[in-house]
C-alpha cells in the first residue's frame, strides 16, 4: 500500500503517482466461495441441463422466496427483463410514473414496451420518489407507478400504495438495489403487485447477470412464468405472448454461491459504511447518505453529496481528483433519466428541481468485499484533503 498522502501537492492530479496502483472501482463484484461455485458448475456440466428451469434455478428461486417471504419468485435473465415482464404481465399501458433519479433501465423497460415513463421528482433527503409529485402527474392515461428503493433504502411504500389505490393504479417496485433489505421490519419483496431485483455483477448479491420478480399474486406469477419462456405452457403449446427471460444454470449457481455469503457481506459493507461515516464526519459541504439502521440494509452503495456552496470543491472536480488516484467513483445517476435519450428529445418539459440538484451533487464511492479498511482510510483522507483546499 503506498504511503498515505499528507499534503495537497502530493495528489495525483498534480502529476504524482496515484494512491492506488490498481484501479479501485465502484461496482467490483462480491465473489463467494470459488470451490463451491466450481463444484456447482461441474455438476451443471455433468448433468447437461444448462437452462430452462433447471435444478439450480429452482433452488435459487426457493431461496429468494424464503428470504423475501414472497409467495412466488421467478428468476430471470436480468433486472431489466424482470421489469419488462412484470409490467407486461400486469398489463401496464399508456403512462407509468417513475422517478428520473434512477438507473436508466427503470425508464427503458417501460419505453421498450411502448409505455411512456412520466418522471416524478424526489425527496432530497431520502432520494426516493415523492408521492405528492407522483399524484400531481396522474392523467387519464396513467396506469401505474414504479417506485424505486434507491440505494437499498425503502421508498415511501405506504404513501405510494395510497395514491395507487385512490386512483386505481398498479404499483410495482424496482428493488434492483434492495435485496435483503426491509421496510418497517418486513423484507422487501412483497410490496405492491410485484418487486423486481437485480443480481447483476455489481449488485450486493450477484448471479453474474440475473434478476428476479417476487409477488404474492398467483395470477401475475403464472403469467410471468409463461411469458419468460415464450408463452409455452407445455411442449408445442403456446398460450400467451412471451419472450426469452430465463436465467441459466451457471447464473443460478453463482447466485446460490453468493447467497451463502449474504450475512458476511452485509457485515463487511456495514463496517465500511460506518468507517466512511466516521472518517468523513465534520467535512464541510459533504454529506454521506445516511441509511436507516433500524431497518435491514445491504449497504451496497456509499453515496456522497457534495454541496458546492459549502465545500471548497465541486463534485466533478472531486471526481477528477479521485480518478487521478485510481479511485473510480461514479456519478450515479447523472444527469437523470429525463436528460437522456429518448426522453430528452420527447418534447416534454420536465420540472424536476430536486432531481437535477441531486444529480449534480452525488458521487458513488467504492465499497464491498474488494476493499480493506486501509483503502477506505486512504480514500477518506484524499476526500478530506481535496475538499479543504480551493483549486
Ligand atoms: N433498476 C435499477 C435501479 C438499477 O440500478 C439497475 C441496474 C436496473 C434496474 C437493471 O438491472 P440489470 O438489468 O442491470 O440487472 C451498472 C450496472 O450494469 C447496472 O446493473 C446497475 N443497475 C447500475 C447501477 O450500475 P453501469 O453502466 O454503471 O455499469 P458498468 O459496466 O460501468 O459497471 C459499473 C462499475 O462496476 C464499473 O466501474 C466497473 C465495475 N465492474 C463491473 C462489472 C460488470 C466490475 O468491477 N466488474 C464487473 O464485472 O451500470
User: Does 267 lie in the same domain as 254?
Assistant: no
**The pLDDT value given to residue 312:** 83
Atom of ligand 1 nearest to the CA of 198: 15
Atom of ligand 1 nearest to the CA of 27: 36
Phi, psi of 246 (to 5 degrees): -75, 145
User: Does 14 lie in the same domain as 125?
Assistant: no
Phi, psi of 324 (to 5 degrees): -60, -30
Atom of ligand 1 nearest to the CA of 333: 24
User: Does 102 lie in the same domain as 91?
Assistant: yes
**The pLDDT value given to residue 387:** 87
What is the C-alpha separation between 322 and 389, in angstroms, rounded?
Answer: 15
Q: Are 208 and 224 in contact (CB under 8 A)?
A: no
The domain of 370 spans 3-29+262-329+366-388
**The pLDDT value given to residue 1:** 36
Read off the CATH number of the domain in which 97 is found.
3.40.640.10
Residue by residue, DSSP assigns 33-101 as: -HHHHHHHHHHHHHHT--SSS-HHHHHHHHHHHHHH--SEEEEES-HHHHHHHHHHHTT--SEEEEESS
Domain boundary among 232, 259, 286: 259
Instruction: Name which residue sits closest to atom 35 of ligand 1, judged by CA.
Output: 27
Number of neighbours of residue 38 by Cβ within 10 angstroms: 12
Give residue 153 CA to ligand 1 midpoint distance, Å: 18
**The pLDDT value given to residue 11:** 87
Give residue 182 CA to ligand 1 midpoint distance, Å: 22
The three cell numbers of residue 60 are: 435459487
Give residue 203 CA to ligand 1 midpoint distance, Å: 7
Instruction: Name which residue sits closest to atom 33 of ligand 1, judged by CA.
Output: 27
User: Does 318 lie in the same domain as 188?
Assistant: no
Name residues contacting ligand 1 (CB within 6 A).
Answer: 25-29, 78-80, 102-103, 105-106, 148, 174, 176-177, 198, 200-202, 211, 328, 332
**The pLDDT value given to residue 389:** 72
Best residue among 20, 25, 27 to mutate for probing ligand 1, ranked by most atoms within 8 Å of CB: 27
Domain boundary among 213, 241, 259: 259
User: Does 301 lie in the same domain as 246?
Assistant: no
Which residue stretches of the chain have pLDDT < 70?
1-7, 390-391
Domain boundary among 259, 291, 311: 259
**The pLDDT value given to residue 157:** 98
Q: Please report the sign of the dihedral spanned by the C-alpha atoms of residue 289, residue 292, residue 293, residue 299.
A: negative
Instruction: Name which residue sits closest to atom 34 of ligand 1, judged by CA.
Output: 27
**The pLDDT value given to residue 5:** 47
Residue 344 lies inside a defined structural domain of this protein: no
Residue 193 lies inside a defined structural domain of this protein: yes
Sorted by sequence, the CB contacts under 8 Å of residue 293 that are 6+ apart come out as none
User: Does 276 lie in the same domain as 159?
Assistant: no
How many structural domains is the chain composed of?
2
Residue 348 lies inside a defined structural domain of this protein: no
Residue 244 lies inside a defined structural domain of this protein: yes
Amino acid at each position: 500500500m503506498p504511503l498515505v498522502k499528507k499534503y495537497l501537492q502530493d495528489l495525483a492530479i498534480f502529476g504524482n503517482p496515484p494512491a492506488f496502483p490498481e484501479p479501485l472501482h465502484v461496482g467490483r463484484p462480491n465473489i463467494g466461495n470459488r470451490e463451491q461455485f466450481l463444484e456447482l458448475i461441474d455438476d451443471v456440466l455433468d448433468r447437461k441441463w444448462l437452462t430452462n428451469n433447471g435444478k439450480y434455478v429452482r433452488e435459487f428461486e426457493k431461496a429468494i422466496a424464503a428470504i423475501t417471504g414472497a409467495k412466488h419468485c421467478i428468476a430471470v435473465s436480468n433486472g431489466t427483463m424482470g421489469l419488462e415482464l412484470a409490467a407486461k404481465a400486469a398489463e401496464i399501458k399508456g403512462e407509468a410514473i417513475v422517478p428520473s433519479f434512477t438507473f436508466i433501465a427503470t425508464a427503458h423497460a417501460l419505453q421498450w414496451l411502448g409505455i411512456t415513463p412520466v418522471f416524478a421528482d424526489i425527496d432530497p433527503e431520502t432520494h426516493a420518489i415523492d408521492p405528492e409529485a407522483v399524484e400531481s402527474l396522474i392523467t387519464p392515461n396513467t396506469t401505474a407507478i414504479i417506485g424505486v428503493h434507491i440505494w437499498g433504502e425503502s421508498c415511501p411504500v405506504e404513501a405510494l400504495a395510497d395514491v395507487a389505490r385512490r386512483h386505481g393504479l398498479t404499483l410495482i417496485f424496482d428493488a434492483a438495489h434492495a435485496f435483503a433489505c426491509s421496510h418497517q421490519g418486513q423484507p422487501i419483496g412483497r410490496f405492491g403487485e410485484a418487486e423486481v431485483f437485480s443480481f447483476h455483477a455489481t449488485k450486493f448479491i450477484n448471479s453474474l447477470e440475473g434478476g428476479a420478480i417476487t409477488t404474492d399474486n398467483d395470477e401475475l406469477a403464472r403469467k410471468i412464468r409463461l411469458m419468460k419462456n415464450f408463452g409455452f405452457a407445455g411442449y408445442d403449446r403456446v398460450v400467451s405472448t412471451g419472450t426469452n427471460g430465463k436465467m441459466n444454470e451457471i447464473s443460478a449457481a453463482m447466485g446460490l454461491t453468493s447467497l451463502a455469503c449474504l450475512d458476511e457481506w452485509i457485515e463487511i459493507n456495514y463496517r465500511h459504511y460506518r468507517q466512511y461515516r466516521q472518517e468523513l464526519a465534520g467535512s464541510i459541504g459533504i454529506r454521506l447518505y445516511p441509511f436507516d439502521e433500524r431497518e435491514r440494509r445491504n449497504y451496497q452503495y456509499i453515496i456522497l453529496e457534495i454541496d458546492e456552496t459549502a465545500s471548497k470543491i465541486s463534485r466533478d472536480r472531486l471526481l477528477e481528483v479521485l480518478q487521478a488516484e485510481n479511485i473510480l467513483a461514479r456519478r450515479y445517476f447523472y444527469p437523470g433519466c429525463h436528460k437522456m435519450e429518448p426522453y430528452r428529445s420527447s418534447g416534454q418539459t420536465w420540472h424536476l428541481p430536486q432531481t437535477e440538484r441531486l444529480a449534480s451533487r452525488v458521487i458513488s464511492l467504492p465499497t464491498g468485499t474488494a476493499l480493506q479498511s486501509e483503502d477506505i482510510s486512504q480514500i477518506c483522507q484524499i476526500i478530506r484533503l481535496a475538499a479543504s483546499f480551493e483549486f
